[in-house]
Amino acid sequence: MSSAIAHVFGDLHLDPAGGAEVEAFCAWLGSVDSPRLVILGDLFEAWFGPRTASLPGARQVLASLLAATARGIAVEVIPGNRDFLLGAGFEARTGATLHAGGRTLEVASQRTLILHGDELCTRDRGYLRLRSVLRSPLVVRLAALLPRWAGAAVAARLRRASVQAVAAKPAEEKAMQPEAAVAAAQRAGAGLLIVGHAHEFALRTPAPGLEWVVLDGWGGDRDVVELSGDGTWTAVAHGDLPRSSGGSPTQVSRARS
């Protein structure tokens, strides 16, 4: 076991129907050596309600997560903009814990805030309005009642509309905003903010005493943050994490000072 106390990653966009990416993730999950995994959103490309769990890829991922929690790994999941309908059924099937509003960790008396990141896109008012509607209790209840085919059709239509809308927006409008990142970190009393969503690694200091890490999407060179017990952090590639047979991660970004 390494000195890590947690590994943070997200934006896997796994297809609930299955495929090679699902197979690869489940194989990795079955061998990784970590006391805690925090998935910061978009584990699935789409999750359109409880009936998604019956699809073959979803069943495989859920079973792999359950096997991980059964062997003592604490798995925590922050729903993203693609899988915000994950609910109690997901927790029951996996032993994982959902954190809909993000996750705060205390590491060596320093506080780390982990978010998906889409909530920081505060200049994209149209998206935030849609986000509020889709996550409303009424929509969540309706999604649970839809047959699987109907839920999949709605999810596909929303995805097509989202792709078109995103392509038409200026980059600065759809980007995560530094002032929103600072405000979120200040509310949590955090000195380290870790997000995904943008699929491109970045390290910023938007305010004194605050480090803001944006992770690569899954498969990038820096798609995992390793949090160590002494309060340092390192960005690594998931393939370089310790396996149950031994090994150590290759550091590819600076440690927290």
Give the C-alpha separation, 167 to 121, whole Å: 15
Average pLDDT over residues 243-253: 50
The dotted CATH code for 4-240 is: 3.60.21.10
Return the pLDDT at 162.
63
> Are residues 218 and 96 in contact, defined by beta-carbon separation less than 8 angstroms?
no
Return the pLDDT at 160.
67
Return the pLDDT at 107.
85
Which residues make Cβ contacts (< 8 Å) with residue 184, sequence separation at least 6? 102, 113, 115, 119, 120, 193
Which residues make Cβ contacts (< 8 Å) with residue 105, sequence separation at least 6? 6, 38, 111, 112, 114, 227
Give the C-alpha separation, 130 to 229, whole Å: 39
Determine phi and psi for 182, rounding to 5 degrees: -65, -45
Return the pLDDT at 202.
98
3-state SS, residue 207: strand
Q: Of 117-121, 138-142, 144-148, where does the model show the most confidence?
A: 117-121
Average pLDDT over residues 93-122: 95
Return the pLDDT at 252.
38
> Are residues 79 and 116 in contact, defined by beta-carbon separation less than 8 angstroms?
yes
